[in-house]
Amino acid sequence: MHPSLRRTEHRPWALPASPWRWRQSWRNLLFAHWPVAASIVRKLVPSTVTVDEYEGTSWVGVVPFHMAGVMHRPLPDLPWISAFPELNLRLYVRVGGMPGVWFVSLDAANPLAVWGARRFFHLPYFHAAMSVVCDSDRVHYASVRRSTGTRVAFTGTYWPTGSARETTPGTIEHFLTERYCLYTQSPDGRLLRAHVHHWPWPLQTAAAAIEENTIAGAQGIEVDGEPALLHYSRRLDVVLWSAEPVEA
User: So where are the chain's domains?
Assistant: 3-241
The whole-number average pLDDT for the span 6-27 is 97
**Residue 248's pLDDT is what?**
58
Tell me what the mean pLDDT of segment 83-96 comes to: 97
What is the rounded CA–CA span in Å between residue 213 and residue 22?
30
Long-range contacts of residues 139-142, Cβ cutoff 8 Å, at least 24 apart: 139/28, 139/30, 139/64, 141/30, 141/64, 141/85, 141/87
CATH of domain 3-241: 2.40.400.10
Please compute the mean of the pLDDT values over residues 239-246 and round it to a whole number: 96
- Of 42-56, 74-88, 92-106, the range with the lowest mean pLDDT is 74-88
- Of residues 121 and 44, which shows the higher confidence score? 44
In angstroms, rounded to a whole number, what is the distance separating the alpha carbons of residues 222 and 160?
A: 26
Q: Where are the beta strands (DSSP E) in the chain?
A: 22-36, 50-51, 58-72, 84-95, 98-108, 125-135, 138-145, 153-160, 181-185, 191-197, 204-213, 229-240, 244-245
Average the pLDDT over 192-216 and give the result.
97
Reply yes or no on whether the pLDDT at 19 is more than 80: yes
Mean predicted confidence (pLDDT) in 1-28: 96
Residue 218 has pLDDT above 80, yes or no: yes
User: What pLDDT does residue 54 have?
Assistant: 98
Chain segment 110-137, per-residue pLDDT in tens:
999 899 899 888 999 999 999 999 999 9
Query: Looking at the predicted structure, is the pLDDT value of residue 148 above 90?
Result: no
pLDDT tops 90 at residue 231: yes
Give yes or no for residue 157 having a pLDDT over 90: yes
Position 150 pLDDT exceeds 90 = no
HSE toward the beta carbon, residue 28, CA cutoff 13 A: 23
- In the chain, the percentage of residues whose pLDDT exceeds 70 is 100
Q: What are phi and psi of 219, to 5 degrees?
A: -105, 10
Residue 162 has pLDDT above 80, yes or no: yes
Structure confidence at residue 238 as a pLDDT band (50, 70, 90): very high
What SS3 class is residue 6?
Answer: helix
The share of the chain scoring above pLDDT 90, in percent, equals 90
Q: Give the C-alpha separation, 21 to 44, whole Å.
A: 28
